[in-house]
Homo-oligomer: A and B are copies of this chain.
Amino acid sequence: MIVQETRLDTARIRAARQVIDPIFLDTPLYRCEALEPVLGCAVSVKLETANPIRSFKARGTEVVASGLAANGSRAVVCASAGNLGQALAWSGRGRGLEVTVVASRHATVAKLERIRALGAELELVDGDHELARERAAAIARDQGIRLVEDSLDLETCEGAATIGLELVDALPSFDAVLIALGGGAMATGVGHVVKSHASDVEVICVQPAGAPAMTRSWREHRVVSTDSADTIADGVAGRHPIPEVLDDLLLVADDAVLVQEASIVTGMRMLLDHAGLIVEPSAALGIAAILEDRERFADRHVLTIICGSNVDMDAYHRWIGPAPQ
C-alpha cells in the first residue's frame, strides 16, 4: 500500500505516544452541533488547545526532548513561529535541557512572551520565519547542539501523528479530516495514520492563499518556494517547503486547498460565537475551507483539528471586531 512509503511508521508513532506527557494526549473530540446549521455539514473538532502550551506542538517536542534526555544532551535549538518554541521550552524545561528558540521579531507577541516565561533563551531575527530557520541552524552548528527542524525531523511528525491515532479510534467516524498545512508535520503525520487505518476518509490540507508554498508544491509535485508569505495565520506562514515532507504529503493528502484571509476570520468568529472557542488563525483554516466550498462538504461529517489558541488578544479583537455576530 502506497502509504507505507512515507517516512512514517505506525509502530514508531505508537512508541512516540509512550514518551509524551499524558497531559497532551487524548484531547477532546466532539461534535459542535451549534456550528452545523451555518456550515451545512456535521462538524467535529479535535481540540488541541486545552493544555499548558495551547497547541498540539508539544506532542512532537515531547518525543524530541525525551530522546535528547536519554542521550544525555544538555541543549537544543529550534526556529519557531511561536508554538514549536513554547512546546520545546516546556518539554526541555521538564528534562533539564537548555532551550534556545529563534523567532522573527514580527512573531505573535503572546507566543514570544510565553517562550521566555517558560525559561527558554529567545533570539529574535529581523526577518521572517525562513531567516529564523537559518539562524537556528547556525547556532546548532556553532554550539554543536541538536537543531530541531519542524516537519523535517521525524519526531515532530510522529508526535503530531499521535493525533491521528486518537482520530481513527473515534466513533462515529467522519468522512473527511481538514488539517492546517504549514511545514507539513501535522498533515503528513495525521494523514499517514488516517490513510493507513481508514483509507476512505478524505485527508484535506488547508493553507492560506497568502502562504501557498506547500500547497502549490503538492499540486505541482515539486518544491515551489514563494518570495513572500502574507497571512494572519502565522503558524503556517512558511515559504520554503522541505522536499522530504512534500514527498510524504504527496502520498497521504487527497487534496490541498487554499483559503482567503476573510474566510479565516469568519471561521475564527464562528468558532467563537457557536463553539465558545478562542483560536489562532491557523486553527480556523478547516472551517474556512468548509465556508469556501459548502457544496463539497454538504451533509458529510467533517472533522477539523483546532491546533492552537495562542493569539495576541488585541489582534484577535481587531480581526473579529468589537460586536458579536
Contacts of A47 in B (CB 8 A): 50
- Find out whether the CB atom of A23 lies under 8 angstroms from the CB atom of B27: no
CB distance from A85 to the nearest CB of B (A): 15
In the complex, A26 Cα to B25 Cα: how many Å? Answer: 11
CB of A272 within 8 A of chain B?
Answer: yes
- Find out whether the CB atom of A30 lies under 8 angstroms from the CB atom of B49: no
Contacts of A322 in B (CB 8 A): 317, 322
- Find out whether the CB atom of B27 lies under 8 angstroms from the CB atom of A28: yes
Residue from B31, B117, B309 within 8 A of A276 (CB atoms): B309
Closest to A29 in B: B23
Provide the main secondary structure of the chain A interface.
Answer: loop
In the complex, A27 Cα to B29 Cα: how many Å? Answer: 11
Closest to A277 in B: B278
- Find out whether the CB atom of A33 lies under 8 angstroms from the CB atom of B324: no
Starting from the known contacts A33-B118, A47-B50, 20 additional A-B residue pairs (CB-CB under 8 Å) come to: A23-B28, A28-B50, A28-B51, A30-B50, A30-B51, A30-B52, A33-B52, A33-B117, A34-B114, A50-B50, A54-B276, A272-B313, A276-B278, A276-B309, A276-B311, A278-B278, A313-B325, A314-B323, A314-B324, A316-B324
The 10 closest A-B pairs by CB, nearest first: A28-B50, A313-B324, A276-B309, A322-B322, A276-B278, A314-B324, A30-B52, A47-B50, A30-B51, A273-B313
A-B contact pairs, 12 of them (CB 8 A): A28-B28, A28-B51, A30-B50, A33-B117, A34-B114, A273-B313, A276-B309, A276-B311, A313-B325, A314-B323, A317-B323, A317-B324
